[in-house]
Amino acid sequence: MELKFQEKINKIDDCPANNESGDKNLYRFILSVPMNSDSFKPHSLIYKPKFDNICIAWGLSTYDSLKSANEALQNLPKKTREKFTAIAVSKITDEDGIKYSTKNKKHYTFFPKKEVNLLTKFVLVNQDGE
Q: What percent of the chain has pLDDT over 70?
A: 97
- Average pLDDT on 79-100 reads 95
- In total, how many domains does the chain have? 1
Task: Confirm whether 18 is domain-assigned.
Answer: no
Name, in order, each residue with C-beta under 8 angstroms of 125's C-beta and a sequence gap of 6 or more. Answer: 27, 66, 86, 87, 88, 89
Q: Give the pLDDT confidence of 2-58 residue by residue, as tens digits.
A: 999 999 999 999 999 788 899 999 999 999 999 999 999 999 998 888 889 999 999
Task: Confirm whether 130 is domain-assigned.
Answer: no
Task: Confirm whether 30 is domain-assigned.
Answer: yes
- Average pLDDT on 54-79 reads 95
Task: Confirm whether 35 is domain-assigned.
Answer: yes
Task: Confirm whether 38 is domain-assigned.
Answer: yes
Task: Identify the domain containing residue 41 by its residue range.
Answer: 23-125
Task: Report the pLDDT value the prediction gives residue 127, as an integer from 0 to 100.
Answer: 57
Task: Confirm whether 103 is domain-assigned.
Answer: yes
pLDDT-based confidence at residue 105 (cuts at 50, 70, 90):
confident
Q: What is the pTM of this model?
A: 0.91
Task: Confirm whether 71 is domain-assigned.
Answer: yes
Residue 58 belongs to domain with CATH number: 3.20.170
Task: Confirm whether 108 is domain-assigned.
Answer: yes
